[in-house]
């Protein structure tokens, strides 16, 4: 038995000196090694990260190698088909608290926690693409809808109101994604669009307001005694 063990160790030593394969990490990547077979340690995902911008040598076949990018990533969900993550309409569509339909362009800025790369590989996602599409995107298309939907329609015209909900959305996303090794840096909003009926009502109101500013009286429907109506309203306002 001892002879067999010595033979295996000798074989591994020779193989290490003659058959190792290089594995590299880019300047912003960390590496994670998985031991599929080992005589000297536990098998499975190694609880260690391999530093960016380096080269490491491991035996082929009995080791797997994965890298994760630690740069800041932007997940952009937008109405435009010319930019964003998808070349289709991809904005968030939801109802405001007062019942109007709205669509909103949202950007989620996130990065992975390098120290948790082994955990991500073992329990969350096998690569950056899966992490982005199956984890971050899934959560980011759900929770922000609920949070921005707490606003009244008129509040979307107020930058401070949108920023407050963005901060709240970031906190909620971090609460969910943080234990998975993901750091949510920011939630940003760009353009927003109301449904056609609400947009027309806003435009009609602007026209009416402009008419009042121009003539000092609101516009009236034709065919009615507009002058008499105007005088009655003016008299009531004086009383």
pLDDT band at 41 (very low <50, low <70, confident <90, very high): confident
Mean of all residue pLDDT scores within the chain = 84
Q: Write out pLDDT tens, residues 100-130.
A: 999 999 999 999 999 999 999 999 999 999 9
Kind of pairing, strands 92-95 and 73-77?
Answer: unpaired
How buried is residue 206: exposed, middle or buried, by Cβ count under 10 Å (0-12/13-18/19+)? exposed
Helix (H) / strand (E) containing 10 = helix 2-19
Residues in contact with 80: Cβ distance below 8 Å, sequence separation at least 6, in sequence order: 105
CA-CA distance, 124 to 48, in Å (whole number)? 16
Domain spans of the chain, in order of start: 2-69, 73-197
Strand partners, 67: 31
Region of 115 on the Ramachandran plot (φ > 0 left; ψ -120 to 50 alpha; else beta): alpha
CA-CA distance, 171 to 212, in Å (whole number)? 45
Q: Write out pLDDT tens, residues 159-212.
A: 999 999 999 999 999 999 999 999 999 999 999 998 766 666 666 665 666 666
Q: What backbone torsions phi and psi does residue 226 show, to the nearest 5 degrees?
A: -65, -35
CA-CA distance, 46 to 195, in Å (whole number)? 52
CATH among 3.30.479.30, 3.40.140.10, 3.40.50.300, 3.30.930.10 for 73-197: 3.30.479.30
Region of 223 on the Ramachandran plot (φ > 0 left; ψ -120 to 50 alpha; else beta): left
Q: What backbone torsions phi and psi does residue 98 show, to the nearest 5 degrees?
A: -95, 15
């Amino acid at each position: 038995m001892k002879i067999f063990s010595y033979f295996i160790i000798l074989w591994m030593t020779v193989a290490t000196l003659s058959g190792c394969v290089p594995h590299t990490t880019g300047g912003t990547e960390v590496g994670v090694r998985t031991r599929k077979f080992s005589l000297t340690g536990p098998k499975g995902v190694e609880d260690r990260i391999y530093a960016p911008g380096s080269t490491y040598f491991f035996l082929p076949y009995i080791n797997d190698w994965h890298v994760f990018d630690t740069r800041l990533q932007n997940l952009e969900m937008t109405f435009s088909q010319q930019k964003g993550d998808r070349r289709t309409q991809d904005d968030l569509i939801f109802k405001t608290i007062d019942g109007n339909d709205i669509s909103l362009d949202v950007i989620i800025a996130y990065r992975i926690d390098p120290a948790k790369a082994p955990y991500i590989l073992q329990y969350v996602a096998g690569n950056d693409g899966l992490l982005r599409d199956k984890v971050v995107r899934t959560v980011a298309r759900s929770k922000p809808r609920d949070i921005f939907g707490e606003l009244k329609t008129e509040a979307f015209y107020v930058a401070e109101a949108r920023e407050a909900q963005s901060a709240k959305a970031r906190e909620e996303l971090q609460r969910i994604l943080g234990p998975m090794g993901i750091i949510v840096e920011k939630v940003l909003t760009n353009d927003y669009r109301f449904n056609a009926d609400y947009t027309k009502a806003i435009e009609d109101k602007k026209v009416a307001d402009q008419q009042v500013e121009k003539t000092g009286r609101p516009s009236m429907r034709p065919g009615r005694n507009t002058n008499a109506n105007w005088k009655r309203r003016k008299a009531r306002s004086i009383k």
